[in-house]
Amino acid sequence: MRMLLPLRLVLVAASLLLATTTANIHLHLHSDSAKHFAISERQQAIAGIEASLLSLLGFAKRPKPQGQAYVPESLKKLFVKQNTIGMADIAKPGIHARSANTVRSFSHVESEVDHKFQSPNRFRLSFDLSSIPSGEKLQAAELSLSRVPILNEDDSNSKLGRILIYDILRPGARGHSAPLLRLIDSKPLNTRKNGTISVDVHPAVERWIKDPKNNHGLLVHVRGTKQEHVRLRRNANERNDTWVVNRPMLFTYTDDGRYKMSSASQIMDRRARRAALRKNRRKDGRENCRRHPLYVDFADVGWNDWIVAPPGYDAFYCHGDCPFPLADHLNSTNHAIVQNLVYSTKPSMVPKACCVPTALSSISMLYLDEENKVVLKNYQDMSVLGCGCR
């Protein structure tokens, strides 16, 4: 399985840690065996393990973000949900993300053009999407906008408004030509409500990715009120910590092509295995093939400056004997049963069946990229759910 090699590397790190306690940077992993290495060999091994883990997570090198970044509340909630369901595919109501496993957040890039818009209900939003890898496929994109309720209007006035989102195909030139716009989404608004509103901007973002030079941003127009209802721009005296919570955010949902989309049967099988683990978990000290604890702590390798959450995760590993005859609870295949049968009569012909992961689940990670943009990414086959003799 894909995870066998990374997990073996992690187990080597555990052995290194148990051998010496002199180094400050290490992988904080728990395993049952240890080997002694010289300090130079130990440092080289740790560097190799770090490189292997970065490769496993899809990074060519370690991200080094500058300073802290605000994590949108919607990404925090999605992170918790994804870790609960244990799927690599993004599952968010209202978004048809298909096989997407990565969510990136983008805020408006301020420029001199902003000052040309005087009305609080008409504004151009610009987003720099250069940090999206060329190999990722866009599956969905949404613009999230916060609102402030308008409660002081006369009851006789309509409280209904409408927001219109345009893709700017060609910017206008004052005194020469009007901008060329394409309407991509429109939604009704209740101006007395303050809930966040999300609009579909997939067509615009897809065009920008294909043709970055013609990314002229989005024109947002709010109709039905003269007062500010949708937060499009920062107020003159607004504090930064207040604005980062209320500013417009663009979210892209992409598929990096590393994993296959889970089928309904696979999802149900994972849920059944998790339920069985909770039901049958026990500590009887047997050395037969079973799952053992293995915790990977990101802080101990100095990754906590760019990995926002989780601080670490339970990877687990499989270890134990596959005795003859193989019992049902050892989750073995017919091939493993036959192999152990042959091994019991002619040990020199074939090796004994091995204890390996038979079911793996996904984990979600929130991290900062090189440009301090917040990314939510799901990684498949990162945590062992079940072990068996194969």
Q: What is the pLDDT of residue 90?
A: 64
Strand order in the sheet with 218-223: 122-125, 218-223, 160-170, 180-190
Q: What are phi and psi of 389, to 5 degrees?
A: -95, 120
Q: Any bridge partners for residue 103, and if so which?
A: 253, 376
The mean pLDDT value of the chain amounts to: 74
pLDDT at 219: 93
- Rg of the Cα trace of the chain? 27
* pLDDT for position 31: 44
Helix locations, the chain, DSSP H: 4-19, 39-56, 73-85, 202-210, 240-246, 264-280, 334-345
Strand, helix or coil for residue 204: helix
28-82 pLDDT per residue, tens = 444 444 444 455 666 666 677 677 777 766 777 777 777 677 888 888 888 887 7
Specify the amino acid at residue 45.
A
At 42, list the tokens: 């130990």
pLDDT of residue 42: 60
Q: Which CATH superfamily is domain 284-387 in?
A: Cystine-knot cytokines (2.10.90.10)
pLDDT of residue 127: 93
For residue 145, the cross-strand partners are 197
Question: CA-to-CA distance for 352 and 330, rounded, in angstroms?
Answer: 14
The CATH fold assigned to 95-150+157-253 is: Jelly Rolls (2.60.120)
Predicted pLDDT of residue 88? 57
- Domain residue limits, the chain: 95-150+157-253, 284-387
* pLDDT tens, the chain, 390 aa long: 434 334 444 433 443 333 333 333 333 444 444 444 455 666 666 677 677 777 766 777 777 777 677 888 888 888 887 777 656 566 566 666 667 888 888 989 888 888 888 888 899 999 999 888 888 899 889 999 998 888 775 555 567 889 999 999 988 777 777 889 999 999 998 888 888 888 999 999 999 999 999 999 999 999 988 888 888 888 888 888 888 888 999 999 988 877 665 555 554 555 555 444 443 343 445 577 888 888 888 887 778 788 888 888 888 888 888 776 655 555 556 666 666 566 666 667 777 777 888 888 888 888 888 777 888 888 888 888 888 887
Between CA 45 and CA 17 the distance in angstroms is 11
